[in-house]
Chains A and B, each alone.
Chain A
Amino acid sequence: MEVVQSNRKSSSSKVIVSTLPLYRSAPPLEVRLEDFELFAMDRLRVLKGISDGLGRGKKPEEMEKLIANLWKENMRHPQANEEANKDVISHFVLRLVYCRTEELRKWFLSMEITLFRYRFRLESSEAQRALMSEFKLPYKAVSNAEFECVKDKLGQVARSMGQTLAAADAIFYKVPFEEVPELVAGRRVFIHKGYAYVAMNQVVSLVVTQFRSYLSKALILTNRKWTSTVREQEMDRLTPIVEALCTSYLGPDYSQANKVGEISLKDIDQIAKISFPLCMRHLFEKVREDHHLKHGGRMQLGLFLKVVLYLHDMICLQHLVCVFECIVETRNQLMIGEEGVGLKLDDALTFWKAEFAPKVSGLLQCAREIAVAPPSELPATPAIAPNSARDGRNSARDGHNHDFNVLFLAAHAVEYWIINTKLSLLIGECREDYTPYSCQKIISSTPGVGDHHGCPYRHFSEENLRAALLRMGVSSRAVEDVMDKVRNRHYQLACTLTFEAVHGSSCDAGINHPNQYFIDSQRIVQSKVDDVNSFRIFGSTVWV
């Protein structure tokens, strides 16, 4: 049985007062504006570090070390009371930042709870008891007499977890079972007549539940106050800082989607229904339902989504290239017979580089403006060489169309540049870990309790698989073919057949990678668009 003792206990003499704040009320301190931001950033680094650690599935011992390091690197101060102030101030600032939406609140709550839990475990047992009484937990220590009665059962519970009951002075708390759902769920406590007998080392769970409940309510109250009064009041001072803080760091994994091409999870709903392979569809449905995925699912879906979302950008870019080409055509037709200025390659490149950086809608707007504006009002950028571009693409030998070809190539070169830059930004350094999983990797994974990743063709029961395929719109006949493949363990062939059934066209190469499924699907979906001027992206029409 591990009772984690604080290391500080030996160095500092008998400190019973806990250094762990409960953040009950905002401190009546004066904070300098720079500190307001700096403290918050430091704490945010800690929280972000915790988020990363959890996302990578670090074990508790590793997390303990990680959190200790993060705290040491970011939150320390030579003077003890300054350190305490920074702790409290940074927490309250981040409350302001992260109270504003449900997703932000969830993330912040989750990270603060994890932080609290690990810091609590490092406290001495006296300090822990002091904290418990601060929470006004009305739990009584079990009397000696009662302990004798239930000792056997308590021992049994401990042994069932591979532990031993501590020596005679073991302290147990008797609490209503409703207060410790985690312990009940895991059968880690003895329960009798509605009361759970909680060991001292399990007390963390008790305290964390209280902490969570309090902080969750506080965040909602903070949000109400912020939106109703404070935000306006602080327009010149705090509000810009708060709003910048939120966007300067990425919150939960999924909110990254909001950064890229401004899609939210809701937008993905549409394409998920059409173009996701079953494995990702299932994970996506689950994350929409539960707002949560375990590590395996997060990795499998997250990496897949990153490339999908990047592709959204790329498709937009392709669209823009298309649009740009349309504009060029149009301009050419308008300018036939007039003297035109030769296009400068550099100008074109500059123009595209500058405009690609911000949001897609800005680009489209720009493109529209170019199409509509009379020639004299064009910005100092693309003026098009005369002579129709109609055969320009095909006759590289023709000098007059050379510039147009160059422009065309330039657009693609820039596109290629964008692809590489953005891809590396999204996916991080070229690490094996961060490559989206191939079918082989997914098939070989082993989902356990509460997991939803892995290959459904392998891991779903026959009944569930049939139901899922029917929900995807696969005809009953095709379902039989798919099930046949599954029985023979040809999972990728099964997925290929599904693809063919859903899209009504053959897939000769076979499916090897979920992102390949997605790309092929989108290709088919978008090839059905006839009118190049009304391009459908993710189910909604752009540029009508």
Chain B
Amino acid sequence: MTREEAANGRDDMVIDGAQQANAVPDGFDSNYLRIYYGKLFPHADMFKWLSYGNDGKHPACDKSYFGRREFSFTLENDIYIRFQSFNSAIELENSIKEKCPFKIDIGPVYSVDPAKRHAYAQSRDNVFTPFERELVFDIDITDYDDVRFCCTGADVCLQCWPLMTIAIKVIDTALRDDFGFNHILWVYSGRRGVHCWVCDGKARRLTNEQRAAIADYFRVYKGNENSHRKISLPGPVLHPFLARSYTEVLKGFFEAKMLPNQSLLSSEERYEKILEMIPDASVASELRGRWQENKRASMSKDDINLVRWDQLKSVLQSGKHKTQGIRRCVEEIVFSFTYPRLDMEVSKHMNHLLKAPFCVHPKTGRVCVPIDPNNCDEFDPTTVPTLSQLLEELNREGLRQDADNEWDRTSLGESVKFFRTTFLHPLLKSCKEDIESSYNAKLQQSKNALSW
């Protein structure tokens, strides 16, 4: 903020005055939202995205596609309305501006317009069903509360946020390399987590069973939803996906960052958690004995956590332990602290609603901005633009004739540009190509049928 002003070269008097006039107190309410939806929320981009190319003039476009998408709005006072649908960009935009929803969720594209679902309820076969839906993932840092000690609950800081970063790395790599998906959007959830939208046509057409299969491919925690999780890594070697995740992401992060930052081995309370994971009690007590004596790590200047971790590794991986369980223990410990913890239910069902990108989080005022998976190390949740900050920025720039692209004059500009260039445009290009080629294929088919 001060950068810009300095760049403009205003003198001090004006700066002070300008600052006071433009200052927007922190907050979140419908007045702020009205301006946000009026000037900043990228309605047209959302429409283009969710149309997947069906808004064009091409004869093969499905004009009804966008209108069959479910949206749900959470209004002020927790009023929740589902099965909202819109037939055009204007309808969507007007409804959002008029209703000022505190939260917008995106649901699936149904087989028929959600607004007309009751008309179809009478027939015996269930014709009102989800037709297409992005493959989505939801990672929430509160699921990691048992392994982070800097914050609890809804708080997040730069010590524990990296857990989200490595989750993004692991999942993103797998989605691209293993599953072959290309059009992936990662979004900050506004407070304490990230969402992932996989938008390839193949992904949108996955059945619930296939989504569950992908979710299970990513799962390493045993134990059911009613009890606490436990890592299970059976087998003499790891599956290539797990092995890659370990060597490329998890191991490095755990040893370099997490151990020292969260002081995982420095106190008895903390190291007991890790010792508990060692299946052989004698090994655990050997280490426990050493560490209890060595309460003051006087000798080396190295971080006590790293020293103890090395000791643990050398004990567990030494040749004398033949059983696989012991040797595997090191990886299991690393996995249990760092491996992504996905909310399985979100991914498994086509009809699960998920918050839309560019919404504002009511509790923090932060905008749900996209995250670049290739640069996710640099993402800082504490500097994500807030609603009041954006409005302040708008104020500062004053009124302009040109009402388009107002977001470009604010911190939001960067996010919208990123959304367009790295995600939206490649996606639309690919969609157009798909529509074109399937149209041509159909043409060819009918030609073949005719000319026998």
| Identity of the chain B residue whose Cβ is nearest the Cβ of A195 in the assembled complex | B180
Asked if B235 contacts A160 (CB within 8 A), the reply is yes
Interface residue? A426 (CB, 8 A): no
Q: Is the CB of B239 within 8 A of A157?
A: yes
Q: Is A170 interfacial (CB 8 A cutoff)?
A: no
Residue of A nearest to B228 (CB): A461
Q: How many residues of A contact B (CB 8 A)?
A: 32
Min CB gap B230→A, angstroms: 10
**Chain B positions within 8 Å of A450 at CB level:** 224
Choice from A156, A161, A184, A185 contacting B243 with Cβ under 8 Å: A156
Q: Interface-forming stretch among B148-156, B213-221, B329-337?
A: B213-221
Does A1 make an interface contact (CB < 8 A)?
no
Q: Are B216 and A185 in contact (CB under 8 A)?
A: yes
A459 touches B177 (CB 8 A): no
Q: Please report the C-alpha to C-alpha distance between residue A449 and residue B237 in the assembled complex, in whole angstroms.
A: 22
CA distance A178 to B177 in the complex (A): 15
B interface, how many residues as a size bin? 20 to 34
- Is the pair B239, A156 in contact by a Cβ cutoff of 8 Å? yes
Q: Do A161 and B210 form a contact, CB below 8 Å, given A187-B241, A194-B180?
A: no
- Known contacts being A181-B210, A193-B180, is A159 close to B237, with CB within 8 Å? yes
- Name B188-211 residues within 8 Å CB distance of A: 202, 206, 209-210
Q: Residues of B contacting A193 with CB < 8 Å?
A: 177-180
Q: Complex: how many Å from CA A448 to CA B234?
A: 15
B58 at the interface (CB under 8 A from A): no
List of B residues within 8 angstroms of A159 by Cβ: 235-237
CA distance A190 to B217 in the complex (A): 11
A182 within 8 A of B: yes
Q: With A185-B212, A193-B180 in contact, is A464–B226 under 8 Å at CB?
A: yes
Tell me if A182 and B237 are in contact (CB < 8 A).
Answer: no
A43 within 8 A of B: no
B177/A156 in contact, CB under 8 A: no
A79-125 interface with B by 8 A CB criterion: none
Decide: B239 and A160 in contact? CB cutoff 8 A: yes
Say yes or no: is B227 at the interface (Cβ < 8 Å to chain A).
yes
Q: Given A159-B235, A184-B214, check contact A456 B226 (CB 8 Å).
A: yes
| Residues A178 and B202 in contact, CB atoms below 8 Å apart | yes
| Chain B: minimal CB distance from A149 (Å) | 13
A451 near B224 (CB under 8 angstroms)?
yes
Given contacts A157-B240, A161-B235, A184-B217, contact A461 B226 (CB under 8 A): yes
Known: A186-B216, A448-B222. A459 touches B227 (CB 8 A): yes
Are A156 and B240 CB-contacts (below 8 A) given A184-B217, A195-B180?
yes
**CB of A139 within 8 Å of the partner chain:** no
Contacts of A460 in B (CB 8 A): 226-227
Contacts of A461 in B (CB 8 A): 226-228
| A478-509 near B? 1/0 per residue, CB < 8 Å | 00000000000000000000000000000000
Say yes or no: A181 contacts B237, CB within 8 Å.
no
Q: B252 on the interface (CB 8 Å rule)? A: no
**B239 cross-chain contacts in A, Cβ below 8 A:** 156-157, 160, 187
- Assess A160 versus B227: contact at CB under 8 Å? Given A185-B212, A192-B178: no
Q: Out of B179, B214, B224, B238, which one reaches A447, CB within 8 Å? A: B224
Among residues of B, the one whose C-beta sits closest to the C-beta of A163 is B235
Determine whether A177 belongs to the interface, using a CB cutoff of 8 Å to chain B. Answer: yes
Contact of A194 among B179, B217, B225, B237 (CB under 8 A): B179
Docked Cα-Cα span, A181 to B215, in Å, equals 10
Interface members, chain A 428-462 (any B CB < 8 Å): 447-452, 456, 459-461
CA distance A21 to B324 in the complex (A): 44
Q: Does A153 interact with chain B (Cβ within 8 Å)? A: yes
Is B426's beta carbon under 8 Å from chain A?
Answer: no
Is A321 part of the contact surface with B, judged by Cβ < 8 Å? no
Given A177-B179, A190-B240, A192-B177, the answer on whether A185 and B217 have CB atoms closer than 8 Å is yes
Q: Does A162 lie at the interface of the complex (its beta carbon under 8 Å from any beta carbon of B)?
A: yes
Interface centre among B214, B228, B239 (most CB of A within 10 A): B239
Q: Is the CB of A181 within 8 A of B212?
A: yes
By a CB distance below 8 angstroms, the chain B residues around A182 are: 213
Q: How far is the CB of A189 from chain B (nearest CB, A)?
A: 9
Q: Is B413 an interface residue (CB 8 A)?
A: no
Q: What is the minimal beta-carbon distance from B41 to any residue of chain A, in angstroms? A: 34
What are 27 of the A-B contact pairs (CB < 8 Å)?
A159-B237, A160-B237, A160-B239, A162-B235, A178-B206, A184-B213, A184-B214, A184-B217, A185-B212, A185-B213, A185-B214, A185-B216, A190-B240, A191-B178, A191-B217, A192-B178, A193-B178, A193-B179, A194-B181, A195-B180, A448-B223, A448-B224, A449-B222, A459-B226, A460-B226, A461-B228, A464-B225
10 A-B pairs with least C-beta separation: A194-B180, A181-B213, A185-B216, A193-B180, A185-B213, A160-B235, A184-B213, A191-B178, A187-B239, A460-B226
* New contact pairs (9) apart from A185-B216, A461-B226, CB-CB < 8 Å: A156-B239, A157-B239, A178-B206, A178-B210, A184-B213, A185-B214, A190-B240, A459-B226, A461-B227
